Every structure is written in C-alpha cells, then in structure tokens.
Amino acid sequence: MNKIGLGAIIGAISCTFALEAAATEWNVSVWGKRRAFTEHVEKLAELVSEKTKGEFTMNISYGGLSKNRENLDGISIGAFEMAQFCAGYHRDKNRVITVLELPFLGVENLEQEVAVSKAVYAHPAAVDEMAQWNAKLLMTSPMPQYNLVGTGEPRDELADFEGMRVRATGGIGNAFAAVGGVPTSVTATEAYQAMESGVVDTVAFAQHAHLSFGTINQADWWTANLNPGTVNCPVVVNIDAYDNLSDEHKEALDSSVAEAIDHYLANYGKLLERWDSVLAEKGVAKVEISPEVISAFRAKAADPIRVEWIADMEAQGLPGQELYDLVVKTLAEAQSGS
C-alpha cells in the first residue's frame, strides 16, 4: 500500500474517533408519561440535537431510571445527567425554592410563574443549595394554580374542608391543613389509586395532571377558582456533566431553554383553552367558590404560613425574607409589564 493510501485510511480512522469523542449522550429522568408537564424537556432535546447535528442527544426516560422522589438523589450521584423533580417531594433538600410554593402568592398566569421561578433560581442561595446536590437549576416546569377534584357533594364552603383528606403537597398541603384539611403527599402517579380506594377525598392538581393521571375520571366536580397556589418543579442538570460539555454543546443547551419554555407555554395554553369541553365530556361539574370563602381561606392560610416559612428559613441561615421579597418584586414587575 502506498503512503497516500495509508495516510487516507489513518485520516479516516482519526476523523471517526474525533466524531465519536465529540458525541454527547445524556440520560434524562422524568416520570408518568409524555404530557404538557414534560413538553419543554422533549423540545429541549429536539433543539439540542438539531443545533449539534445529532452530536448531543438526550434519552428521556419516563420512570425507567428513577422514582420521581429520588430524581435529585440520582442527579447528585451522577446516575443520569438531567432530571425533573418537584420541591414538595423533599422539602428539606430544596428549601429555597419552596418560597415559590407559598399559598396565595397572586401569580395569575404561566408567564408570571416563569418570571418568579427564574428570579429565585438565579438567587445565590438557590444556586448554592442545589450545588450541594451537584445540581444546576436549568428551567422551571410552570404550572397554573392547582384546583381540586372530588366525589360526592362539592366542597364549596370553608367548613367543608374540615377533615377533608386531600392529595396536596408543599404549600398547598399546608394551606388545606390551616383550614382543617388532612393533606397527604402521595406522588402524582399514586393519586388515582388513592382517590379510587378512598385514601383521599379530593386531589389537588393542575389541569394537565388531572388528565394525565386519571383523577378527572374519578371526579364529580372540579373547583374552577379556588387557586390556593401551585407546586414548583425544576429541571436540573448534573453539574459535572454540564461542566464537561464542550463550549459548542453547552451553548446549544443554554440557548435552547427559552425556546423550550415558549413551546411549553404555547402547548399548555391549548390545553387550558379546551378544559371546559373536557369537563363537559367527562360529566364533571364546574364549581365556582364564592369570593367570601376564598378570602376566608386566604386569611387563615396565606399570612400565617408565609410568616412561619420566613422565620423557619431565617432560623436555618437562609434569607427567607429576601427570597419572599424577591418573589413579590418580580411578580409586580411581571404584572405591570416592566
């Protein structure tokens, strides 16, 4: 074989090795099934692959890599590179972001939820706390205000919440406890069974979850406007995996977040537009709670829980008041369009 032929073969082999070395494959742990709640993760994977011409790919696993309550632990040990979790699943591990789960914050839409989450995620206290788990906050999974589905007679008076067994996590669970409810934090995937077996009387979810996890199929009624709060569910990446990305792949990931969130918002908007028809189709009554009942609920739940949360955070050396003030300031700016 002449030198030119040998050189060509060596060059081809070298190029192959270079391409293999440049390829990046991440495993992503989520749960349930593909739904509105995971559309930004799906879109992110699509965008990253497009921008890197297939050199950076993500394998999204719906429950195959970890249980949803263990996703943050999996990130911390590098079992996978990206994951989604909800703050209420392990409040002691992600104390800072639970400020976003305080009841009756006044968030009016998903865009405002994105704004306040982004502000808190960027706060040094949030960055530092997540770093303890080798996790970097990448983006939120914005959800509308939670509302109840239940069976039997609608619970539309404050007295009806006394003794009510409700699937509710985080600040929403605390809110119902403040008015005599009995919250349980079974996971989203366990909610249908809990409702079917009578372990809970009601389930608090955003609209997509009532659909995805089947609780709407058990329901006689749905509260249209109780709006006690929502949960905060970040998407995080393993810090080591992120730091090991090439500059090109890191840019592909970072630059895709905003577009992935926009896709999520547009997709969720379509679901909200057809929600009334879903209720009608399934024979679920739409219950409007009176302003007086909502005001009484807020008075018992919002202020006392907020004060207690701030004091608890400050006692642990975290800037509770500063974080709450950041949410209020960011929300005001988002609502004024500034």
What confidence score (pLDDT) does residue 113 get?
A: 97
pLDDT value of position 18: 44
pLDDT category at 11 given cuts 50, 70, 90 is low
What is the model's pTM? Answer: 0.86
Q: Between the CA of residue 210 and those of 142, 150, 185, 296, 324, what are the distances in Å?
A: 16, 11, 15, 26, 29
Tokens of 330: 């960011």
3-state secondary structure of 30: strand
Helix count and strand count (H, E) for the chain: 14, 11
Could you give all domains of the chain from N- to C-terminal order, each with its CATH number?
23-143+231-271 (3.40.190.170), 147-230+283-336 (3.40.190.170)
Q: Three-state secondary structure along 113-163?
A: HHHHHHHHHHCHHHHHHHHCCCEEEEECCCCCCCEEEECCCCCCCHHHHCC
- Does 189 score more than 60 pLDDT? yes
Chain-centroid distance of CA 41 in Å reads 11
Give the pLDDT confidence score for residue 20 in this predicted structure. Answer: 47
pLDDT of 2 reads 52
pLDDT tens, residue by residue, 312-325: 999 999 999 999 99
* 28: nearest Cα among 6, 54, 57: 57
Secondary structure element (H or E) that encloses residue 18, with its range: helix 3-22
